[in-house]
Structure 1
Amino acid sequence: MNQNGSVEDPEQALTRLGGDSSRVTLRRLTIDDQDEFIELVRASADLHHPYMSLPSTPQEFRDFLGKFEDPLSAEGLLVCMRDTGAAAGNININSIIRGRFQSAALGYAAFAPAAGRGYMSEGLGLVLRYAFEHLRLHRLEAQIQPDNHASLKLVQRHGFRSEGYAPDLLFIDGAWRDHERWVITNSMAGMVPSAPHPSQPVR
């Protein structure tokens, strides 16, 4: 939704985020990203293990992309460096639930060639704006393994609050992994839309 309250095209909303001052941009993941994505995932295997398992073959990538066919339930986004267009990481808005919940789960990963330079922090800031101002969500949750210190620092930097510890929450890399649950709402982020999403009940 733009400043005058009208509904904005998703691609336009992604394009305008950050303006020229940001080092990164957001765009939707597409089949054209397959080769670059797989190459970056393979180059980032040591960085990602055992915290996440991303597609590293063409078939896995196509299955992964299929999760985002319905943008009403999930969106797969790439964080790209503005100067080169190269992907620095990906951030997914998963499990979008409307009605009284207006919530979604975040999944994200930096790619090793660009890790440690603050690109993902900038990208997450843009995703928060997109999720709260355009998608008009109320709540976002990130589920993080307790020893994934880089990921914990990332959400803490953006003002997420801890909402507890969930044993055996997600099956990753052949085992059920414990996770901490970190949450941010649009009011915590100072990004409350001027009007709620149409699916939100009046009372």
Structure 2
Amino acid sequence: MSASRPFLAEGPSVGIRPLALADGAEFTARADQSRELHRPWLFPPRTDDAFRAYAGTVIEDPAKAGFVVCDRDGGSVAGFININNIVRGGFRSGALGYGAFAHAAGRGLMSEGLGLVLTYAFEELGLHRLEANIQPGNAASIALVRRAGFRLEGFSPDFLFIDGAWRDHERWAITADMWPTRPRPAA
């Protein structure tokens, strides 16, 4: 389990916080335990070197924001959500990447965590639009974004190079106007 660090946002069952190098040991162990769940859709880092390279780009690149979703009951890392390719200005958009770890799959933790990340992205980062590109056969990922209110916007043949081949993806998106913001406390 990762050392306890403050959450950026909390819900009833999870909290989110920025991805940190200190997450490496737990992250790689969870990724290794989750190989069957992730294949053939996702290949998160499973070695220390691969995690350092991954985390370094997420932490240091201003066009990315990486989060871990932590189970509030014990603090274990349940999954991860990245906002990649953040563009400011008139576009104010980003592309989501995410994955649950096997011990947390099917418990609703990623749905809650995604909701926290969406609120953070729209309210704190000032983004207008987030897009998730999902392989058509990845039913769990499609169900996750549907629950969050994303809409299907299209199909992109040969969109991303994954596991040695160009893979088709569906484009799902949500805008700030579509996301119900949390009520803010009175000042």
The alignment's TM-score, normalised by the length of structure 1, stands at: 0.84
Which one-letter code corresponds to 2:178 in the other structure?
M
> Which residue pairs with 1:36 in the alignment?
26
Q: Which has the higher contact order (CA 8 A, sep 6+)?
A: 1
- Return the offset for 1:72: 2.7
1:67 paired with 2:46, answer no
Sequence identity of aligned pairs in percent? Answer: 54
Partner secondary structure for residue 84 of structure 1: coil
Which one-letter code corresponds to 2:106 in the other structure?
G
> Which residue pairs with 2:124 in the alignment?
134
1:89 to 70, 79, 83: 79
Runs of 4+ in 1 over 4 A off after TM superposition: none
Partner secondary structure for residue 92 of structure 1: strand
Q: How many residues align?
A: 178
Which string of whole-angstrom CA distances, capped at 9 and with x for unpartnered residues, describes residues 130-158 of structure 1? Answer: 00000010000000000100110110111
Partner secondary structure for residue 96 of structure 1: strand
Whole-Å separation in 1 of the counterparts to 2:55 and 2:61: 11
1:118 paired with 2:118, answer no
Whole-Å separation in 2 of the counterparts to 1:102 and 1:93: 12
8 Å contact from structure 2 (residues 21, 52) kept in 1: yes
1:76 to 60, 66, 71: 66
Whole-Å separation in 2 of the counterparts to 1:103 and 1:113: 31
Which string of whole-angstrom CA distances, capped at 9 and with x for unpartnered residues, describes residues 64-85 of structure 1? Answer: 0121233631011100001201
Whole-Å separation in 1 of the counterparts to 2:180 and 2:93: 16
Whole-Å separation in 1 of the counterparts to 2:152 and 2:84: 19
- Return the offset for 1:162: 0.7
The alignment's TM-score, normalised by the length of structure 2, stands at: 0.91
Which one-letter code corresponds to 2:138 in the other structure?
N
1:149 to 121, 139, 145: 139
> Which residue pairs with 1:109 in the alignment?
99
Which string of whole-angstrom CA distances, capped at 9 and with x for unpartnered residues, describes residues 64-116 of structure 1? Answer: 01212336310111000012010000000111001110000000000001110
- Return the offset for 1:29: 1.2
> Which residue pairs with 1:47 in the alignment?
37
Partner secondary structure for residue 69 of structure 1: helix
CA RMSD of aligned residues (A): 1.6
Which string of whole-angstrom CA distances, capped at 9 and with x for unpartnered residues, describes residues 23-67 of structure 1? Answer: 000011111111111100010000000101111111111110121
Whole-Å separation in 1 of the counterparts to 2:22 and 2:137: 34
> Which residue pairs with 1:24 in the alignment?
14
Specify every segment of 5 or more residues in structure 1 that has no aligned partner in the other structure, as ranges: 1-10, 193-203
